[in-house]
Amino acid sequence: MRESLPIDPPASAFDVPSWIAGIGRVSIDLVEYVTESERGGRRTVTYDCNGTEAKVRLAPVVGAAAWELVAECKGAVDRVLLPGATKFIWRRTRTHG
């Protein structure tokens, strides 16, 4: 008898600029990556959201294979928990037509 290990599903992706656009209630085209910093395993990413600064903080969840993201944009705050294998999209790819 042959035993096989379960296959892990592929990691899903989380589009951070789209999330910010939803929080700020603006078009995705009005969300621009500005800068990022990392300290002590925590990342802070800053965006320009139609002239307003938006910040996203990413940190591991202690005791779980998960990430916590907290976003602040135009006075609104949102928080999500995502699996540790999540791939994050921090910048939008621009295409020229």
pLDDT in tens, the chain (97 residues): 455 455 555 669 999 999 999 999 999 999 999 999 999 889 999 999 999 999 999 999 988 899 999 999 989 999 999 999 999 999 987 655 5
Q: Look up the domain containing 78 and give its range.
A: 33-89
Q: How many Å apart are CA 41 and CA 84, to the nearest integer?
A: 14
Our count of domains for the chain comes to: 1
Determine, yes or no, domain membership for 81.
Answer: yes
Determine, yes or no, domain membership for 58.
Answer: yes
Partner residues linked to 36 by β-bridges: 45
Determine, yes or no, domain membership for 22.
Answer: no
What sign for the dihedral angle of Cα 79, 81, 84, 86?
negative
Q: Which pLDDT value is given to residue 14?
A: 95
Determine, yes or no, domain membership for 11.
Answer: no
Determine, yes or no, domain membership for 26.
Answer: no
Determine, yes or no, domain membership for 80.
Answer: yes
What are the tokens at 60? Answer: 């591991």
Determine, yes or no, domain membership for 12.
Answer: no
Q: Which residue has the tokens 């951070």?
A: 16
